[in-house]
Each structure stands twice: as structure tokens, then as C-alpha cells.
Amino acid sequence: MNRDSEDREVSQLPGSQRKPPSHVSLPDSSWRSRFRSRLRRWYAKHARDLPWRRNRDPYLVWISEIMLQQTQVAAVEPYFLRFRAAFPTIKALAAADEQDVLRHWEGLGYYRRARQLHAAAKVLVDEHRGRFPDDPEAVRALPGIGRYTAGAILSIAFDAREPILEANTIRLFCRLLTYRGQPASSEAQRLLWAMAEAMLPRRRVGTFNQALMELGSQVCTPKAPKCDQCPVATLCEAKRFGLQDAVPALKPKKKFEEVHEVALIVRRRGRVLLLRRPEGGRWAGLWDFPRYEMDHEVEPVLFRRLRDMLRTQTGIDAVPESHQKRLKHGVTRFRITLDCYSARFVASGKPPADAPEWKWVTPGQMAEHPLSTTGRKLAALVR
Ligand code: SF4
């Protein structure tokens, strides 16, 4: 297609002109209908074969959508297959022990998602006879389901005319419209949700929504979008003005906070001490080695403090002995340096009333307990 015809197509966007418009408005119906038919044709040829796309069971769509939040497709695939095998139905998930659910989630991160999935499965059994509802209000009332997830499940599983908006479609829409503001602003969110709604076809809405996300993730990528392979390139304002790299606007840089933590591997007759992480905090419900945030202190002050902290927390007395390993990892906005020390059990005193649940486990038993990623690395060290 030559440059003139490109310009004709883009000019269907209201306000379109030679320089990027300062106000963005939604595309007209002729633009939308060309967009839909090109996207459909492209998706029919290029859709990836993903395990959750092979049927429209709302339970499986739901599991996949929750797993895909903040996690890449390639990382989700093996987890999805294992989770589906372990909990094949809503009833099976609701009846499962939370520890078992967390164990199947281990390594995927954002463990709150697993706990909310489990809680929602119980609600589905108690209030919807173990079936996933097709009523938007009932879906949005479930734990862990927001506007995007509800739209994705309802459109994909029930073909409901519900819009979706997530990272890939936000980027795609911003570029199609040359929206140059911050995508997370409330103005942008209003505009982009309105765009998502206006774009919906009358039929096969789920396929359309998936095609949008696929185009965003496979072609309209964050860096170096593949405009030469894009089925809607001639409809794209960012392409027209050469603004693909400038749109969407970059998020303000995250400020990272450096944190130092110390973990203890306390040994007692071939077993090690694990504590259960308390409600409301990081990794709630998972098991972990005693772990404390502290300044970079040196022995013997460090050892004295660690001994006191463990005693105050659990009533258990143990003597820290030697440094085992240093791990570096990131959790949300924190950059954590974790130093791990071995410690020798001395005695058990009376635990305080608010002590966390704890266990002495053999190295073999650690596999049965859901641990954080660094917890699992320390478990390997113990073995
Ligand atoms: S033309 Fe380029 S920037 Fe525009 S939608 Fe396609 S891939 Fe994205």
C-alpha cells in the first residue's frame, strides 16, 4: 500500500492531521470495522496454540487469566498444566488444602493470587453450586477478580460483550490513537476503556479480545514494534507520525529500596526449623526460615541480635554459627540482600502468644511445604 492510501486510512481518525493531534478521540465506525476484519484475519493465521485456548471452560479460562497477571506466557504454561491436573474442577480446588494450592503455585510469585483463587472456588461451591456464573456482577464479586479479569472470562468463556484492557491492549490502543499521556492516569483509563468498548464486535467477542492481546504481545511489542508485519499498520497514528517508540509514555522510574535481611537455618537432630508466614504480610501462608530485616551488622553483635530475635519471636533458643550464603533478589520495589547463617538449637522456652506457627522438618519434608523462591534456594542448601 502506498503512502497516500496509508494517509487516507489514518485520516478516518477524528482530528487526524499532519502533526500528532493534541486531543485524542475515538475512531469512527468505518475505521473500527476495517480494524476488526484485519485483526480477525491476522489472528486466524497467527494465534499461538496455548493450552488454555483449547476450550472455553470458564474454570480454565479463569485459572489462566489469574496466572497470566504479571507473569509471562512461557512461565505460566507448565504451572497451568500442573494446576489443572491437580485441581481439575472448581469443586476439587475448593476442597483442596490451602498448603497444597500454594505448593502448586510455588515459584510463580504473587501468592495472594493463589489464595484468592482458592477462596473464590469456595464461594463458587457455596453460592453457585460449583459452577462459574455468567452474570458480570456475580463474577466481579469473587475474590481477586477485577474489571479486566471479569471481562476476559466473560468474553472468552461466554462470548459476553465485555471489554478488556491490560498491558498489551493499553500499549496497542495508545499507539493506534497516539495517546501521549500517562496510560495509568484516570483520563487515559477512561479513554482506553471507552476505546476497548467501542471496538467490540457483535459476535465472537472472546476471540476478538484474545486477538487484541495477541497483536499487542506479538507484534506491537514494547520495544521495536514489528510495524512491517502489523495487519493494522495503515490504521495506526503512531506509525504514521513515526512515534512508535515515544508512545505510550514511559512510566516514571520506579524507586527501589535496598533492604538487608538475615535468615537462620536452625538445626535440631537432623531437622530444620520452618515458620509459617503470618497473614497480611509478604508470602502470607507460605513456610520460611526465620528471617529478619536488619542493618549490616557484624559478628558478634549480629549473632547476639539474631539469637534475641528468634527467642522473642518463638521462644526457641539457638546459637548462630556460620555464614552459609548470600542471595540477592527483588520483591516489588525492594532490592533484597539476604545473608543466610546456620544456627545450632539449644533449648525451647515458652512461646509468646503471637508466635507464628512453626515446625521442625526433615530435608525431605521440605518439598511438601510451599516456600518462597529464596526459601526454596535455602532448602536446597540444607539438602
Ligand atoms: S503499526 Fe506498529 S505501532 Fe502501530 S499498532 Fe502496528 S505494530 Fe503497533
Q: Tell me the per-residue pLDDT of 323-381, one tens digit each, with 9 for 90 and over.
A: 999 999 988 888 999 999 999 999 999 999 999 999 999 999 999 999 988 999 999 98
Would 342 be classed as within a structural domain?
Answer: yes
Helix (H, G, I), strand (E, B) or coil at 112: helix
Could you give the CA distance from residue 228 to residue 377 in angstroms, rounded to a whole number? 44
Q: Whose CA is nearest to atom 8 of ligand 1?
A: 220
Could you give the CA distance from residue 178 to residue 24 in angstroms, rounded to a whole number? 8
Considering the domain architecture, whether residues 262 and 220 belong to the same structural domain is answered as no
Considering the domain architecture, whether residues 169 and 82 belong to the same structural domain is answered as yes
Task: CATH number of the domain at 36, please.
Answer: 1.10.340.30
Of 199, 214, 241, the residue at which a domain comes to its end is 241
Would 129 be classed as within a structural domain?
Answer: yes
Has 293 been annotated as catalytic?
A: no
Considering the domain architecture, whether residues 339 and 232 belong to the same structural domain is answered as no
Could you give the CA distance from residue 15 to residue 333 in angstroms, rounded to a whole number? 40
Residue to substitute in 239, 241, 245 for testing ligand 1 pocket (most ligand atoms within 8 angstroms of CB): 239
Q: Whose CA is nearest to atom 2 of ligand 1?
A: 227
Would 366 be classed as within a structural domain?
Answer: yes
Considering the domain architecture, whether residues 232 and 315 belong to the same structural domain is answered as no
Q: pTM surpassing 0.85?
A: no
List, in sequence order, every residue forming a beta bridge with 261; answer none if it has no partner: 293, 338
Residue to substitute in 226, 227, 247 for testing ligand 1 pocket (most ligand atoms within 8 angstroms of CB): 227
Considering the domain architecture, whether residues 158 and 48 belong to the same structural domain is answered as yes
Domain carrying residue 154? 3-241
Q: What is the CA radius of gyration of the chain?
A: 26
Q: Whose CA is nearest to atom 3 of ligand 1?
A: 244
Range 130-136 contact pairs with CB under 8 angstroms and sequence separation of 24 or more: 130/89, 130/90, 130/91, 130/94, 131/90, 132/58, 132/59, 132/62, 132/90, 132/157, 134/58, 134/158, 134/160, 136/160, 136/162
Would 248 be classed as within a structural domain?
Answer: no
**pLDDT < 50: residue spans in the chain:** 1-8, 11-12, 14-17
| Ligand 1 atom with minimal separation from the 227 CA | 2
Phi (first) and psi of residue 213, to 5 degrees: -65, -40
C-alpha separations of 44 from 39, 85, 199 in Å: 9, 29, 18
pLDDT, tens only, 29-50: 999 999 999 999 999 999 999 9
| Ligand 1 atom with minimal separation from the 233 CA | 1
| Ligand 1 atom with minimal separation from the 219 CA | 7
Q: How many domains does the chain have?
A: 2
Could you give the CA distance from residue 150 to residue 127 in angstroms, rounded to a whole number? 18
Of 241, 274, 306, the residue at which a domain comes to its end is 241
Considering the domain architecture, whether residues 193 and 305 belong to the same structural domain is answered as no
| Ligand 1 atom with minimal separation from the 216 CA | 8
pLDDT of residue 273: 97
Q: Whose CA is nearest to atom 4 of ligand 1?
A: 236
Of 241, 269, 294, the residue at which a domain comes to its end is 241
Share of the chain above pLDDT 90, in %: 84
Task: CATH number of the domain at 329, please.
Answer: 3.90.79.10
Considering the domain architecture, whether residues 17 and 84 belong to the same structural domain is answered as yes
Catalytic residue among 9, 65, 166, 214: 65
pLDDT, tens only, 9-31: 554 454 444 565 667 889 999 99
pLDDT, tens only, 221-230: 999 999 999 9
